């Protein structure tokens, strides 16, 4: 593996009572790359995600995030909102979690909460209408507008998020995560429920995020066409342990991966893997 590591997961273990959901999982994600975490249903992918993004406290192991400036943060010690605020890790959810009663623009404004809070002097300056806050708000609206353009939803900016089409909601959720200006973007099944055309647009969006903004991406995905097309590195999990790792090509040809995906019926597994190539 070459390049700089942004996220390193070391012997991560997560137990729920007697059940071991993730056991001794170690992998690394490189800066400015797209790393995919795949595996059959129940492999423990979302559990890993929840550990990284602070929704679960790991039972054991270490998760280290290294920022641009070389500062390293122990994610397993931060909890809750601090992961997004201090460590700059943003995430989306498997079942979309937008603010349905707020407009698309408002959703993107809420994402910039911490920046705007500081600018509004923790509300007091904002309440008296200080010019510093007005400038900051204008800047925030510009950033939001920029993202709405990028995801092609500018004309729906003032519509309630809950009224958008499913594919639009998926993209809006990614834009909302990006509005927090993260170092690492974690996407939990971003292509779930999208049609072929929407998946292709999603791949394009993710590649543009990596290439133009240099944001590192970690994603869980079942849609192999997306995974194989955009990933730089793939980690395969099954039953809470890592069974394979490598480039898309290497993973696709790994017999262990094929066996994990479709039991021993290798013929079908090959068919699935090839549909993604």
Work out whether 176 is an interface residue with another protein (CB under 8 A). Answer: yes
Of 216, 223, 184, the residue nearest 200 (C-alpha):
223
Question: What's the closest the beta carbon of residue 109 comes to another protein, in angstroms?
Answer: 6
Q: Is 82 exposed, middle or buried (0-12, 13-18, 19+ CB in 10 A)?
A: middle
Query: Rounded to the nearest 5°, which phi and psi values hold at 40?
Result: -65, 170
109, 151, 202, 217: which one binds another protein (CB under 8 A): 109
Q: Which is nearer to another protein, 37 or 108 (CB)?
A: 108
Contact segment (CB under 8 A) with another protein among 175-183, 193-201, 213-221, 232-240 equals 175-183
Number of residues engaging another protein in binding (CB under 8 A): 48
Of the pair 164, 236, the CB lying nearest another protein is at 164
Residue 156 or 242 with smaller CB distance to another protein: 156
∠ Cα 107 109 114 (to 5°): 120
Contact 5, 62 (CB under 8 A): no
Residue 54 Cβ vs another protein, minimum distance, rounded to whole Å: 8
In what helix (H) or strand (E) does residue 165 lie, and over which residues does it extend?
none
Best CA proximity match to 179, nearest among 140, 124, 210, 125: 140
CA 103 to chain centre: 22
120 binds another protein (CB under 8 A): yes
At residue 80, the 3 state secondary structure works out as: coil
Q: Where in 177-216 is the site for another protein (CB under 8 A)?
A: 177, 180
Q: Would you count residue 131 as binding another protein (CB under 8 A)?
A: no
Check if the beta carbon of residue 227 is closer than 8 Å to that of residue 276.
yes
Smallest separation (angstroms) from another protein to the CB of 257: 30
Identify the helix (H) or strand (E) that includes residue 216: strand 216-220
For residue 215, the minimal CB distance to another protein (Å) is 16
* Binds another protein (CB under 8 A): choice among 15, 113, 134, 239: 113
**CA atoms within 13 Å, Cβ hemisphere of 89:** 30
Interaction of residue 142 with another protein, rule CB under 8 A: no
CB 200 within 8 A of CB 170: no
Q: Is 46 in the site for another protein (CB under 8 A)?
A: no
User: Does the protein bind another protein through residue 253 (CB under 8 A)?
Assistant: no
Contact pattern for another protein over residues 78 through 97, marking x by CB under 8 A: --xxxxxx----xxxx---x
Cβ count within 10 A of residue 255? 11
List interacting residues with another protein (CB under 8 A).
53-55, 80-85, 90-93, 97-103, 105-106, 109-114, 116-117, 120, 123, 126-127, 133, 137, 141, 145, 154, 157-160, 162-163, 176-177, 180
């Amino acid at each position: 593996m070459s390049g700089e590591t942004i996220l390193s997961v070391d012997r991560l273990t997560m137990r729920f009572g007697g059940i071991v959901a993730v056991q001794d999982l170690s992998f690394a994600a490189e800066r400015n790359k797209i790393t995919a975490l795949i595996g059959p249903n129940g492999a423990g992918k979302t559990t890993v995600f929840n550990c990284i993004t602070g929704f679960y406290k790991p039972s054991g192991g270490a998760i280290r995030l290294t920022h641009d400036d070389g500062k390293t943060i122990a994610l397993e010690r931060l909890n809750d909102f601090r992961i997004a605020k201090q460590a700059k890790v943003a995430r989306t959810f498997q079942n979309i979690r937008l603010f349905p009663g707020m407009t698309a623009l408002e959703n993107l404004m809420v994402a910039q909460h911490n920046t705007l809070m500081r600018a509004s002097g923790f509300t007091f300056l904002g309440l008296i209408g200080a010019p510093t806050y007005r400038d900051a708000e204008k800047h925030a609206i510009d950033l939001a507008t920029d993202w709405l353009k990028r995801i092609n939803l500018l004309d729906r900016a003032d519509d309630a998020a809950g009224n958008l089409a499913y594919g639009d909601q998926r993209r809006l959720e990614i834009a909302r995560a990006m509005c927090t200006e993260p170092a690492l973007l974690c996407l939990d099944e971003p292509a779930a429920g999208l049609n072929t055309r929407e998946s292709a647009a999603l791949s394009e969006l993710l590649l543009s995020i990596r290439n133009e903004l240099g944001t590192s991406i970690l994603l869980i995905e079942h849609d192999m066409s997306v995974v194989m097309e955009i990933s730089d590195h793939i980690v395969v999990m099954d039953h809470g342990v890592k069974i394979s790792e490598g480039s898309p090509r290497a993973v696709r040809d790994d017999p262990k991966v094929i066996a994990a995906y479709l039991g021993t019926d290798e013929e079908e597994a090959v068919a699935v893997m090839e549909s993604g190539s």
